[in-house]
Structure 1
Amino acid sequence: MKNLDVLAIFARVAEMRSFTQAAESLGIQKGRVSTVVRGLEKEVGATLLHRTTRTVQLTEEGRLFYSRACDLLSEKEELQSMFRDVSTPLRGRLRVDMPAVLAQSVVIPALPALLDAHPELQLELSSSDRYVDLVLEGIDCVVRLGPILDETLIARPLGHLRIINAASPAYLQRFGVPASLDELITQGHRMVHYKRNFGSRHEGWQYPAADGFQSLMLPGAIVVNSVAAYHDAGLAGLGLIQGGYSSLLPYIKRGELVEILPHLRPQPLTASFVVAHRRSLSKRVRAFMDWTEETLRPYFD
């Protein structure tokens, strides 16, 4: 490998799973991309990419090689920016994934100021409620809510996102405004049930107790498996919901939802900034991490 451009081309193919798309994003011919990757595989003595008529995927050797290649490319970027003024605008591509409701309610509305300050920064924002594979999907960093179960990932806690109880005005007019756990039962309240997988067990209505947090099972007429549908069901008056303050605040400001039982809020969700390995912390990633933490701070407990 005479230069790191070869690694950059290979990494782009691995991330985009396409020789054509990688060539277009790099502004070079597809034939050159194919030639470079074939030469690289010959040099290292291993097949790095499994090619089919529909897609391109990393082999097991390719995954290992990709991880080390990212290390080298990150080191190159760090060396190039070592003596730059810290106020120098960020440049280049940054691929980020975060929960959809967090992106829609907080991050995207705040992005104009960030991109105005760094006009050469190219942000690719994936917003979903699934766990992405950072290496396989070529994601630089993710914002995750809840515990980080993969011990191979590097996580930096951002804070604890406030969770609140809410209901629509129409629902509260029908069932009453509960002031206690007892009234959740005596007034006949029901809740919207959320399950990521329909086969899993619902945890019920969460509330603080002397020894931590407990759950009260309330009846419900609907079960959903997406956060957006969960919020929509609450807006439609189908039951009580418990959701992130950051995502429910716009509805509360418009009077479409009302917070209830503020003294009995559920357990906050840990928000973390996650990368595949420490050497993934390029200047762009570190700057976006700091910006994200500051942007989310008003919604932390």
Structure 2
Amino acid sequence: MDQLLAIRVFARVVEAGAFTRAADSLDMPLATVSKLVRSLEQHLGVKLLQRTTRRVTITSEGAAYYERSSRVLKEIEDIDSSFASAHQRPRGRLRIDIGSATASCVLIPALPDFIALYPDIRVDLGVSDRRVDLIGENVDCVVRGGSAEELSLIARPLGRASWVTCATPEYLKQHGRPTHPDQLKSAHRIVSYVSPRTGRVMPMRFQKGSERIEIGGVQGMGINESNAHVAAALAGLGVIQTFSFAAKDAIARGELVAVLSAWQPDPYPFFLVYPPDRHMSHRLRVFIEWATHRFAHKFDRAT
């Protein structure tokens, strides 16, 4: 048995909460993962994990072993990284998760610059509007909007995105151009953005001076993916409120028209989020430095 490999596999099963997810994240056959954990248990003479057809539960001995062995793994990785980063270019797989519109409009157009700087880094991009489990899904970092409420995570500010309320010229010709947010409640169809995490309709928010107005789900439709949300507006299905960077090209082409521009809600903050107790690989460090600089400029141009 390769004990160090077995310990690493055991730690990944604990973090992922399932043998299948651990095998996928390690790019290893499920049978190999199971065999290594069983070999480690036989070597130690204790049961580390309780297996059922539905889930994996760590035993008290397994929890104690994971706590001590994970510190050793991190120290080994730190030693390896200190030598590798001093003598080698950053390399290996970097797993990033990001929202759909932010990926399409902000990150992906800028990625050729990052790849040119660091050609030995393989970027695996997970694109969706759902919230991911960084530890369980073995993701290095996520680009996330909103408040940095998870105290167990490190959140580096990337910038703030302004909002735009818009619809197609044809839609506005048929329904009229609103001059006050209250007109959206009765005379217009609203295409709402629905949170894929909670299923709740995200309200439209408007602010002009000290006056604040919030409009929840009204007549129209709801969509839980940001690129499809903009596509619905382009199809003439109604009025949307989205990030300026997601709609600015369509507005520049005349496919969408901004309305209620005097009613601007507060800009939306974006963060680069990663776990504090995860070994900071050389490839993750250079991506954080690059993204912190590049995204701030991208958001500045979009606002």
Q: Which residue of 1 aligns with 2:239?
A: 240
> Please, what TM-score do these two structures have when normalized by structure 1?
0.78
SS of 2:220's equivalent in the other structure is: coil
* Deviation for aligned residue 1:243: 0.7
Distance in 1, matches of 2:234 and 2:224, equals 16
Contact residue 78 and residue 283 of structure 1 kept, 8 A: no
Distance in 2, matches of 1:190 and 1:164, equals 16
Q: Which runs of 5 or more structure 2 residues have no equivalent in the other structure?
A: none
Contact residue 160 and residue 270 of structure 2 kept, 8 A: yes
Q: Which residue of 2 aligns with 1:267?
A: 266
Q: Which residue of 2 aligns with 1:154?
A: 154
Contact residue 63 and residue 135 of structure 1 kept, 8 A: no
Q: What code does the residue aligned with 1:142 have?
A: V
In 2 relative to 1, CA 85–182 (structure 1 residues): closer, same or farther, beyond 3 Å?
closer
Distance in 2, matches of 1:8 and 1:198, equals 31
* Deviation for aligned residue 1:143: 1.5
Q: Which residue of 1 aligns with 2:51?
A: 50
Distance in 2, matches of 1:227 and 1:150, equals 23
Q: What code does the residue aligned with 2:265 have?
A: P
Q: What code does the residue aligned with 1:276 have?
A: P
In 2 relative to 1, CA 177–133 (structure 1 residues): closer, same or farther, beyond 3 Å?
same
Q: Which residue of 1 aligns with 2:283?
A: 284
Distance in 1, matches of 2:45 and 2:231, equals 53
Q: Is the aligned partner of 1:139 residue 2:143?
A: no
SS of 2:255's equivalent in the other structure is: coil
Q: What code does the residue aligned with 2:27 have?
A: S
In 2 relative to 1, CA 60–108 (structure 1 residues): closer, same or farther, beyond 3 Å?
farther
SS of 2:151's equivalent in the other structure is: coil
Distance in 2, matches of 1:173 and 1:87, equals 63
Q: Which residue of 1 aligns with 2:175?
A: 175
Q: Which residue of 2 aligns with 1:25?
A: 27
In 2 relative to 1, CA 116–176 (structure 1 residues): closer, same or farther, beyond 3 Å?
same
Q: Is the aligned partner of 1:78 residue 2:78?
A: yes
Q: Percent identity?
A: 32
Contact residue 167 and residue 237 of structure 1 kept, 8 A: yes
Q: What code does the residue aligned with 1:205 have?
A: M
Q: Which residue of 2 aligns with 1:223?
A: 222
In 2 relative to 1, CA 46–282 (structure 1 residues): closer, same or farther, beyond 3 Å?
farther
Q: Which residue of 1 aligns with 2:213?
A: 214
Contact residue 102 and residue 247 of structure 1 kept, 8 A: yes
* Deviation for aligned residue 1:220: 3.0
* Deviation for aligned residue 1:72: 4.3
* Deviation for aligned residue 1:12: 5.2
Contact residue 198 and residue 225 of structure 1 kept, 8 A: no
Q: Is the aligned partner of 1:125 residue 2:125?
A: yes
Distance in 1, matches of 2:291 and 2:153, equals 19
Q: What code does the residue aligned with 1:18 have?
A: T
Q: What code does the residue aligned with 2:123 have?
A: L
Q: Which residue of 1 aligns with 2:112?
A: 112
Distance in 1, matches of 2:31 and 2:185, equals 71
* Deviation for aligned residue 1:268: 1.8
In 2 relative to 1, CA 151–106 (structure 1 residues): closer, same or farther, beyond 3 Å?
same
Deviates more, 1:254-263 or 1:17-26: 17-26
Contact residue 159 and residue 271 of structure 1 kept, 8 A: yes
Deviates more, 1:142-151 or 1:66-75: 66-75
Distance in 2, matches of 1:212 and 1:71, equals 53
Q: Which residue of 1 aligns with 2:166?
A: 166
Q: What code does the residue aligned with 2:162 have?
A: R
Distance in 2, matches of 1:94 and 1:68, equals 26
In 2 relative to 1, CA 250–59 (structure 1 residues): closer, same or farther, beyond 3 Å?
farther
Distance in 1, matches of 2:243 and 2:66, equals 36
Contact residue 165 and residue 265 of structure 1 kept, 8 A: no
CA RMSD of aligned residues (A): 3.9
* Deviation for aligned residue 1:242: 0.9
SS of 2:96's equivalent in the other structure is: strand
* Deviation for aligned residue 1:229: 3.2
Question: Alpha-carbon deviations, 1:245-291, whole Å to 9, x = none?
Answer: 22223323433222233332222222122223244433222222222
Q: What code does the residue aligned with 1:101 have?
A: A
Q: What code does the residue aligned with 2:275 have?
A: A
Q: Which runs of 5 or more structure 1 residues have no equivalent in the other structure?
A: none
